[in-house]
Amino acid sequence: MRRSSHYVTMRDGVRLAVDVWAPASMKPGERLPVVLQQTRYWRTPDIRFPFSLFANPLDYQGIFGRFKRELAAHGYIWVDVDTRGSGASFGNRPWDYAPDEIQDGAEIMDWIVRQPWSNGRIATVGASYTGSTAEFAAINRHPAHRAIVNVSSEFDQYQDILAPGGVPLTWWLDDWGAQTAALDRNEIPGASWQEKLASGGVATVNGRARDRAQAVAEHRDNYDFRELKAMTYRDDFPLITAASASPARRAAQERQFVWLRGKAGPDFLSNGVDLASTHFYLADLRAQNIPSYAVGGWFDGTYANAAIKRYLTVPNPGSKLILGPWDHSQHNISPFTAGGATKFDLLAELLKYLDATIGDRADAVAGDAPIHYYTMGEERWHAAQSWPVANTPLTLWFAGDGGLAPTAPTARLAFDRYAVDYAATTGRKTRFNTLMGRYLLNPYPDRREQDARLLVHDSAPLATDTEVTGHPLVTLTLASSADDAAVFVYLEDVAPDGSVTYVTEGEFRALHRKTGAAPIWQAGPWHSFRKADAAPLTPNAPAELAFELQPISYLFKAGHRIRIALAGHDAGHFARVPATGDASWQVFRDAARASRVVLPVVTR
């Protein structure tokens, strides 16, 4: 591959650093389709001499480093951009996915189509942050934009990453905030002395170290992502009220407001963090009407659910969905074949999709099902025409003696007592830890020790293999001694030897329990998470909480038990609710207040 670097000037004079990766075999005058990625994680690392003699920057770019090579071999050009205020690009960041950043995507496309190597067809591609920029690009409705590949990213930012179930994911807010702040200073987060010796940070544009230094200096006016820890509600937006905002940052904020007023009206700030969420711009996403390939992993934070919501909310013709046994870096971490092959070549699948949408093989995906998903325990891929797949709901009711029963309770009064254990945790090898790129070779090791801290209910041993594919739904009637609660529900598999395998989970903050009409597709009840709908608990008074768990496809084997485990905290990941003091619960399981779980069981 051949790499060239450029500065491209935006409408306001800000210069963005751009790399163009072209096939080494490309002939003069040849025009090819272009794959565009806009990143805030450095478009290319700077590898110093003499390490540059034997180290290739593509080797440090994960799955997309391999994808670039694969695409070049098949006649595509790849363009990487450092988003404004990051990498070697100039400017500052009033917040992530701000209007300036969104509009830059259109100007980069304008620049691409003017180049002699471009045939005018562009797909945006990305994973994690860059998956969101790939989707945000569609808001511009650029005529050259033909397709999106969106791997492992949020759709509804509040629910999918900032505060799943309304419970702030404080560990991630801290960790991601610290790491991106380091990147914006041109530092490798947590770098060893060897890494510092080998790398100068982000690659310059054509060796222009002075330009890079000037660009990094402008990043001092970037916002601090950790300011979002002050958020409770969806309509909070602490990034625009931060007292620490510099004059340059305040000026940048005012510039964003002009665009946002045009999109959302004079009361745009009432939308809070949704202003930085792609689901808020549904009218544009639907009007652009280009296909999107949504990729999610069962252990990839909440991003399998985000992929499903994206696919079903914006059902543009030609869109596809794939759900695999992956973490955030697309490693197979099924507890049954961890580290092994899934017999599915994701990059080949995505290449085929690009061939059909911007390449010269319109029939490349003809006859393929639009949906593929992997069932753990069975260790097998399945194809489907729709989601959710056909299933028969199985309701399991909380029963006495820690049971889960297939029949509803009849008692007039029955409940379990639970003193919330604020030391309860899912550990450091979880679906949320992988969001920082960590490989979870053995996620959620045997949970029986942690479950001793929780309130658990088990089914009888299963008579047959039982496949659960879809979105489990939970309804709890709970009374707490405090005026709020964070409830964590774990679906688990208990083997005959007593070992406990994590299957999936859902978390929910009682403050947000009011339900309403959903603006996007959602499997369970819609909660607005807005200030106006806040409903503090009355201490010691029962309240109903209804919410969904993260989707899953999992085969429980005959002889195993299904377990539901309840916790009031996940130490090391989520905010403590309430912030101080102890709390005790009553979880009701009587005829009038029957706590239960509904599992989507697929007939085999």
Q: Which residues have C-beta within 8 Å of that of residue 287, sequence separation ≥ 6?
A: 141
Sign of CA dihedral 253, 256, 257, 258: positive
Assigned token pair, 274? 């949704």
What does the alpha-carbon distance between residue 84 and residue 99 come to, in Å, rounded to a whole number? Answer: 11
Count of CB atoms situated within 10 Å of the CB of 515? 15
Which of 142, 328, 471, 527 is labelled catalytic?
328
Which of 46, 300, 451, 458 is labelled catalytic?
300
328 a catalytic residue: yes
What does the alpha-carbon distance between residue 480 and residue 476 come to, in Å, rounded to a whole number? Answer: 12
Give me the residue label for tokens 């491209």. Answer: 8
What does the alpha-carbon distance between residue 231 and residue 482 come to, in Å, rounded to a whole number? Answer: 20
446 a catalytic residue: no
Query: DSSP string covering 384-407, please?
Result: ESSSSPP-EEEEEEEEGGGEEESS
Assigned token pair, 275? 């202003």
569 a catalytic residue: no
Count of CB atoms situated within 10 Å of the CB of 540? 12
Picking from 251, 87, 106, 104, the residue whose alpha carbon sits closest to that of residue 184 is: 87
Count of CB atoms situated within 10 Å of the CB of 262? 10
What does the alpha-carbon distance between residue 74 and residue 355 come to, in Å, rounded to a whole number? Answer: 9
Picking from 501, 529, 502, the residue whose alpha carbon sits closest to that of residue 513 is: 529
Assigned token pair, 305? 């659910």
Assigned token pair, 134? 């790939």
Assigned token pair, 51? 């390490």
CA distances to 340, 459, 516, 519 from 111, in Å: 42, 60, 44, 35
Q: Measured in Å, how far apart are the chain's first and last C-alpha atoms?
A: 48
Residue 8: its H or E element: strand 2-9
What does the alpha-carbon distance between residue 406 and residue 396 come to, in Å, rounded to a whole number? Answer: 5
Which of 86, 89, 118, 128 is labelled catalytic?
128
Q: Mind telling me the catalytic residues?
A: 128, 300, 328
